[in-house]
Amino acid sequence: MTHKFLRLPVIKNITGLSRSTIYMRIAENRFPKPIKLGERAIAWLESDVNAWMEQQIRNSQQEVENV
């Protein structure tokens, strides 16, 4: 299995979320936690972010079905 790290600018771009929203959701356990790469560097696993996005899609579709 190949892992790919995504840095914050990429995460913001693919999710459409702001930096503050991402960190707020991390604190609320509603977004994947980043991986520490070094003293001052973090990144997210692409697979974790993709799984989170898929779950958001499923949640949204279920809400539409229940309306």
pLDDT tens sequence across 20-61: 999 999 999 999 999 999 999 999 999 999 999 999 999 998
Q: How confident is the model at residue 63 (pLDDT cuts 50, 70, 90)?
A: confident
Quickly list DSSP for 2-58.
Answer: ---EE-HHHHHHHH---HHHHHHHHHTT-SPPPEEEETTEEEEEHHHHHHHHHHHHH
Q: Mean pLDDT, to the nearest integer, of 13-19? A: 98
Residue bearing the bigger pLDDT, 61 or 17: 17
Number of folded domains that form the chain:
1
* 35 bridge partner residues: 43
Residue 65: its pLDDT value, please? Answer: 77
- pLDDT beyond 90 at 1: no
Q: List the domain range (segments joined by +) for residue 59.
A: 5-65
